[in-house]
Structure 1
């Protein structure tokens, strides 16, 4: 009997030891648009995040010393603020304790969710590439995987000054978010002694009148900010409003290299007309170079695309969803090194939340979307300036023309940089009317006077001859 008790005691000790060695599950909340017909990549974002979770859990011993594994609790936010907030509260009250949040694809639901997530001290890692009007100072728990529009303003100013332009105009989509972004750009331009001739919002219904206003104001260098679905429509309207000589005088400066996502099959213009109208436009974007990830050498953007069974271009937002999970993993790893008791986090743990936001500034790695690092909760990236060019074979190419960094400034001599090619002559920043006073010397005045007298005398001679011989 004593031997049986001894064996039973040994079994209890082994079971308890086994339970103690079992990794703790950390739950990550996810909000994705998985059935919205206008957001096609929501399902791909979710699959990319799940792929990252799977890879991290396979390496949980190396990453977390065998203490933790991750579990993604995803819900469908339907690109709707009401559904998104409802999904958030469902996760808060009916699911296990969440550690972080990942999402969402649409800026309107991101703003709605971050307002309540901030109250629960949950850090939201937004993988959305769309604009979010609120600054990070307003919602301290919002961390963006995409670069904010304001990050490009210094590069925009540097490019304008490099080309010796001093007058610009701004034309943007008619929404509060775009208005706020372009107001910051206008302020930055004015601070740099660059005159903003016009700042105007436009919808697709009054785009023609907006372009005519640009022409009346004689602006030639124009910052354009429309969403991807509207850009082909914009250049179609440019083609219909301006003739070719006038089109070649304009410089359109866009944000984001998304030409591959344009819908060129619209009713009012042919594909060739849209491309010819867009020829020569400038693109301001982040210098994300897609390379194998250093955190997981077996995964590249191409392999992620293959895993998702995608034949088309892999959207950057999907790459951000994958990298967002890895940011969380590395944040947990840093917390272990700092001996932060992660499993004791509750929705009232303000101190732990602030510690994580501080540690976030120390995280840097090369993800599938490019180099990932953060400054003031914003993703930090260098800026790439490119041009949409058409070669002699009429093939479209996006050519890099300059790089910009906050340390080195504008660099037009980079290895991949090419020369700017304008459709016509070198553009000027505004239409000018000049009145020039010509001064003739005495010899020129004498010759002209002599010719006038001779011409008058000859006319009188023929007139007299006609009267006499009539």
Structure 2
């Protein structure tokens, strides 16, 4: 222990002494690092600081790199906050000591404001761990370089795996947050898929802000099988928990999730969801993880003269190593120091050998007049190509580093390496094989076998409606003939036989509409979307409303006449006559309104059979690609709900008018003329039929097809039949009982009413 402490003391003491003895000029660097992140809740890079310190120490010992200079970095805490980072930057550039280059920051959010403004001060910046894809925008961040690979590096390995397994139906789900990091990653993977996968299909792209329940339901409804997930660990836990709760990780269908590997160790064990750790572990089984390789896997001697093993053993002995929490990005910090040193060394050499430099040296750099040195530093960064502890180091045109990614699979609570992808060479090297449930490679759902069944109402139901409608037509004809035969009988004459005939005619039209409706339901799978189907849809639409208007308007017109005559007799004004032809004109006007409306509907948006998927279900337990789809044909137009709503409103107004007339004539004491009770019963039945076939149509249509069809047709049939029965059977009964005689002296004023009806 004493030897260990003594070695630490000697090492610390040797740092400044060795540097001063070897080199007599100092190049100052501005260092930005998030240490205390208690306020921001962000990512702390404190564990990278020992590697940065050791890197600059090693460089300052080298006589072949920057032989006249030592590097001195002054570090400041950004707290992973943009505001704190900006304040620190202002403090740095206002300090009398000029900084030739900036190092950092560790967080993307605090790197962005600094990187955007430094070109105005002729400064170059290199970050050791900021990974946001937005920092690749060279128009905004013109002089920024990054040692740690961007989050974009995860996407090409993902697509390489998709191509390997012939997966072409892909869905993405990402967290929407301020920096847009995850949305950019999702957009990037889609762009790569479009260029590298033939016959691709982006099933859906889901954005999550808080609760991902709706997004998981969308993935489930669209049968997403291959899903790319990009979000922070807390949102990922919640997403997988909802997938469990909604049975999106069901037994019948294998789904493959791609997630990033930057999450902390045991991230799924944090208890902040309604799911247990065991449930999450089960849901994560088979997940594919893409992660950067923070250290190279070979034993090549790096630029520092050390192998990876040498570097790791030496870092553990560094004096400040145990002062901070471990950070797996520390190798990127070490390679960052060497990239800075090599770029500045090349810059110094170029300045010394360039006649136009006019004896300009690195120590002559200023923020105001340092453009030439800045340009050469950037050029030198682009030219770098060396072997670091993280692998081969070289930068792309956007200042990013094409890193190496390890592809792992989640098995029994552990991450098992399967392959390594080199982004600089676009090569995939296999280490192991993927393991899948039942040794069956998951399907992306692009080769689904779909068994289509068309919904069919049993012929017994449709034939039954046709038969009872035909019986209704026969009864209506019988009533019409009986009404015509006895039209001159006093008991019938007083009740307007012509108007009664119109009621029968309206009933026949409605019964005919039910027959057309039944014929469509009986043959819809044969006629489908042909001309016959469109005709049957239109017939149903025309016959039932016109039949209702004809019959019901005729019925209430009689009551209207009684109302006019009765009030005339009661108030004893000048006698009024309201003849049948006047009532017929009223009926024709209302029918004309219906014809115009229905005509506009047929011209603008005609009803026609439309195929709709009712249900899709897995029918084979062992093969989720075999599915049964139930379809149905419905008469439909673009704005069907609004058209029906307007038509129903008009009919409802007619019913309300009938109710008011029934109420107003309730005191008429001549039974043969008092239709208030009859109208009340008829109104009730038609109102129920109107509700079923009108406003509730879209809701009730979700019922089983046969149930809704029978409910729809039987309500209309009963309403029409009850109206006919009440109207004609009552008249027939009265006529038979009184043998065609009616006393006009039964009530004062009855003779006047009878005369007015004539």
Interval containing the TM-score (normalised by the shorter chain)? 0.7 to 0.9
Structure 1 residue 428 corresponds to structure 2 residue 448: no
Residue 311 of structure 1 and its aligned partner are, at CA, apart by 11
How far has the Cα of 1:403 moved from its partner?
Answer: 3.4
- 8 Å contact from structure 1 (residues 101, 124) kept in 2: yes
Change (3 A) 1:406 1:101: closer
Give 1:388's match in structure 2, choosing from 386, 410, 424: 410
2:383 corresponds to which of 362, 373, 397: 362
Q: 2:400 maps to which residue? A: 378
Partner of 2:159: 157
CA contact (8 A) 1:382 1:403 kept: yes
Partner of 1:62: 64
- For 1:54-453, list aligned pairs within 5 A: 54-59=57-62, 61-65=63-67, 67-138=68-139, 139-175=141-177, 176-192=180-196, 193=198, 194-203=200-209, 205-242=210-247, 245-246=250-251, 249-256=254-261, 258=263, 260=265, 262-267=267-272, 268-290=274-296, 294-297=302-305, 299-305=310-316, 307=318, 308-310=320-322, 314-340=326-352, 341-347=361-367, 348-376=369-397, 377-390=399-412, 396-401=414-419, 403-405=421-423, 407=425, 409-411=427-429, 414=430, 417-424=431-438, 425-430=440-445, 432=448, 434-435=450-451
**Deviations 1:17-44 (Å, cap 9, x if unpaired)?**
xx99961110010111122123464322
- The answer as to whether partners of 1:173 and 1:225 remain within 8 angstroms in 2 is yes
Q: Following superposition of structure 1 onto structure 2, how do residues 4-19 of structure 1 map, counting pairs within 5 Å? A: none
Tell me, in whole angstroms, the C-alpha distance in 2 between the residues paired with 1:58 and 1:410.
Answer: 38
In the aligned structure 2, how far is the partner of 1:311 from the partner of 1:32? Answer: 15
Change (3 A) 1:186 1:325: same
Q: Using the alignment, how far apart are the partners of 1:243 and 1:53 within structure 2?
A: 51
Question: Relative to structure 1, is the Cα distance of residues 345 and 154 closer, same or farther in structure 2, using a 3 angstrom cutoff?
Answer: same
| Deviation by residue 1:60-89 (Cα, 9 ceiling, x = unmatched) | x23222x10111111111111111111101
Contact 2:402 2:424 in 1 (8 A): no
Q: Distance in 1 between matches of 2:313 and 2:21?
A: 40
**How far apart are the structure 1 equivalents of 2:21 and 2:268?**
56
RMSD: 3.0
Whether contact under 8 Å (1:373, 1:380) holds in the other structure is yes
Q: Please state whether the residue corresponding to 1:434 is helix, strand or coil.
A: strand
Match of 2:329, SS state, is helix
Q: Which runs of 5+ in 1 are unaligned?
A: 1-18, 438-470
TM-score using structure 2 length: 0.50
Evaluate the alpha carbon distance shift between residue 32 and residue 247 of structure 1 in structure 2; reply closer, same or farther with a 3 A threshold: farther
Cα deviation for residue 201 of structure 1 reads 1.1
SS in 2 for 1:325: helix
Quick one: distance in 2 between partners of 1:199 and 1:189?
A: 13
Separation in 1 of the partners of 2:404 and 2:268? 28
Separation in structure 1 between the aligned mates of residue 21 and residue 45 of structure 2, nearest angstrom: 38
The aligned residue for residue 45 of structure 2 is 42
- Distance change (3 Å), C-alpha of 1:313 and 1:400: farther
Q: Do 1:222 and 1:250's aligned partners in 2 also have CA atoms closer than 8 Å?
A: yes
Cα displacement (A) at 1:397: 3.4
Q: Which has the higher contact order (CA 8 A, sep 6+)?
A: 1
| TM-score, with length taken from structure 1 | 0.78
Give per-residue Cα distances to partners, 1:309-362, cap 9 Å, x unaligned.
459994233332222122111112222332452122222322222222222133
Report the Cα distance in structure 1 between the residues aligned to 2:21 and 2:280, rounded to whole angstroms: 64
Residue-pair matches, total: 408
Q: Is the 8 A contact 2:232 2:263 kept in 1?
A: no
CA distance in 1, matches of 2:311, 2:23: 31
Does structure 1 conserve the Cα–Cα contact (< 8 Å) formed by 2:240 and 2:280?
yes
Structure 2 contact 213–239 (Cα < 8 Å) conserved: no
Higher strand fraction (1 or 2): 1
Q: Is the 8 A contact 1:301 1:368 kept in 2?
A: no
Question: Hey, what's the Cα distance between the residues in 1 that align with 2:83 and 2:56?
Answer: 27
Unaligned runs of 5+ in 2: 1-19, 353-360, 454-758
* Cα offset, 1:169, TM superposition: 0.3
Matched-pair contact (CA < 8 Å) for 2:105–2:130:
no
Relative to structure 1, the CA distance from residue 77 to residue 408 in structure 2 (aligned partners, 3 Å threshold; closer, same or farther) is closer
User: In 2, Cα distance between the equivalents of 1:20 and 1:287?
Assistant: 37
Alpha-carbon distance in structure 1 between the residues aligned to 2:374 and 2:226 = 45
| Residue aligned with 2:118, SS | helix
1:198-235 CA deviation, whole Å, 9 max, x = no partner? Answer: 111113x3122211111011111001111245434433
Question: How far does residue 398 in structure 1 lie from its aligned partner after superposition?
Answer: 2.0
C-alpha distance in 2, partners of 1:72/1:312?
19
- Distance in structure 1 (CA, Å) of the matches to 2:72 and 2:384: 21
- Aligned-partner SS, 1:358: helix
